[in-house]
């Protein structure tokens, strides 16, 4: 599904915008219906904190292990693919918090044996644009290693820390229509503004890593679950973390 030119763009810049429909209309509708159930059941949790929902809801494996997704990430991850995590992301109209500049890999530091070729698919379940706080990336920063962080105010921010220094003039906005998706390297610097519009911003992130990478036996990984999505479990993670 990705051409050699698309793969080269991803390797160089750390991201790719897939401006096509990832799933069929019926399949996308089913995924959105599952999201709405999770949102309704969230209780007093903030709607941008619906993390690892597939741990609790096996219906999501239909989408996470789907050929439509795996065919898209295989040229970037390789033929042996493991599912690392997923996350429903929802920014409420007008009050959705900003997502500070960060690298996903910084929050996984010490949990994996390697951090290259971890790919996130960010699937839009509704329109994602500048007005409702779409994702933004700083191209090429996946080559830089871990950044320095400082604490944030979590009443207005989704994370407890943010990167100290970012050249926002280089940022690329990931504007997507419902059903389209983006792909980004787990090491790239990215963030998102708050939702200042009347339209909820909703996405489903699906994260994959090479099945040759070891998930380390550290306290942060206790209770974690790993699925072999395609190919061979070269690191033995499924037996250890499932």
Describe the strand order of the beta sheet including 99-102 as a list of residue ranges: 99-102, 190-192, 135-137, 172-173
Query: Domain residue spans in the chain?
Result: 4-240
Q: Spell out the CATH class of 4-240.
A: mainly beta
Task: Give yes or no for residue 158 having a pLDDT over 90.
Answer: no
Contacts for 91 with CB less than 8 Å, ≥ 6 apart: 47, 48, 97, 132, 133, 192, 194, 195, 200, 201, 202
Per-residue pLDDT of 186-233, as tens digits, reads 999 999 999 999 999 999 999 999 999 999 999 999 999 999 999 999
- Strand ranges (DSSP E) for 80-169? 81-91, 99-102, 119-124, 135-137, 149-151, 161-163
Write down the pTM of the prediction.
0.93
Q: Per-residue pLDDT tens for 95-108?
A: 778 889 999 999 89
Range scoring the smallest mean pLDDT among 19-28, 47-56, 62-71, 170-179: 47-56
């Amino acid at each position: 599904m990705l051409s050699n030119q698309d793969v080269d763009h991803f390797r160089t810049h750390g991201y790719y915008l897939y401006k096509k429909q990832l799933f069929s209309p019926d399949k996308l509708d089913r995924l959105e219906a599952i999201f709405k159930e999770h949102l309704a059941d969230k209780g007093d949790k903030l709607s941008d904190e619906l993390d690892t929902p597939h741990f609790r809801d096996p219906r999501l494996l239909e989408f996470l292990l789907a050929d439509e997704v795996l065919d898209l990430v295989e040229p970037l991850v390789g033929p042996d693919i493991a599912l690392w995590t997923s996350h429903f992301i929802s920014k409420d109209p007008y009050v959705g918090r900003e997502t500070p500049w960060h690298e996903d890999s910084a929050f996984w530091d010490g949990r994996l044996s390697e951090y290259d070729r971890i790919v996130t698919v960010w699937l839009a379940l509704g329109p994602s644009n500048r007005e409702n706080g779409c994702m933004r990336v700083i191209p090429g920063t996946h080559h830089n290693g871990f950044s320095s962080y400082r604490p944030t105010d979590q009443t207005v921010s989704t994370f407890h820390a943010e990167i100290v220094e970012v050249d926002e003039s280089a940022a690329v906005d990931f504007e997507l229509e419902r059903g389209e998706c983006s792909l980004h390297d787990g090491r790239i610097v990215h963030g998102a503004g708050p939702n200042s519009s009347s339209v909820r911003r909703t996405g489903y992130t699906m994260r994959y890593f090479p099945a040759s990478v070891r998930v380390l036996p550290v306290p942060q990984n206790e209770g974690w679950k790993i699925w072999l999505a395609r190919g061979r479990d070269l690191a033995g993670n499924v037996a250890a973390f499932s």
